[in-house]
Amino acid sequence: MSNAPRRMPGGLCDRCVFQRLVPTRRSVFTMCEEPRMPRYPAVPVMRCPAFVPADGGQAPPRPAGA
C-alpha cells in the first residue's frame, strides 16, 4: 500500500485558477484563494460562482437561479 498523501478529487476546483493544493503528511487539501469563497471548500465542488478556468476555457453555464 502506498504511503503517498491521499488527495480527494476537487471537482471544479481542480480546473480553477484559484485552487492551491496544500500537502500535509497524510492528505492533500484544496485551498481557495478567491477571497469571496471559503478558504477550504468542501470538495468535490460541483458549482461555484467564482470559478475561473485555469486553462483559459469557458466556465460551465450557471444553472438557473444560481
Determine contact, residues 37/18, Cβ cutoff 8 Å: yes
**Contact set for ligand SF4, span 35-64 (CB under 6 A):** 37, 41, 45, 48, 50-51
Binding part of the chain for ligand SF4, among 9-17, 21-29, 55-63 by CB under 6 A, reads 9-17
Burial class of 28 by CB neighbour count within 10 A (0 to 12, 13 to 18, 19+): middle
- 19: helix, coil or strand? strand
Q: In the set 12, 22, 29, 65, which binds ligand SF4 (CB under 6 A)?
A: 12
- Which residue's CB is nearer to ligand SF4, number 34 or number 56? 34
Distance, in Å, from the CA atom of 32 to the CA atom of 19, rounded to the nearest integer, reads 5
- Which residue's CB is nearer to ligand SF4, number 28 or number 37? 37
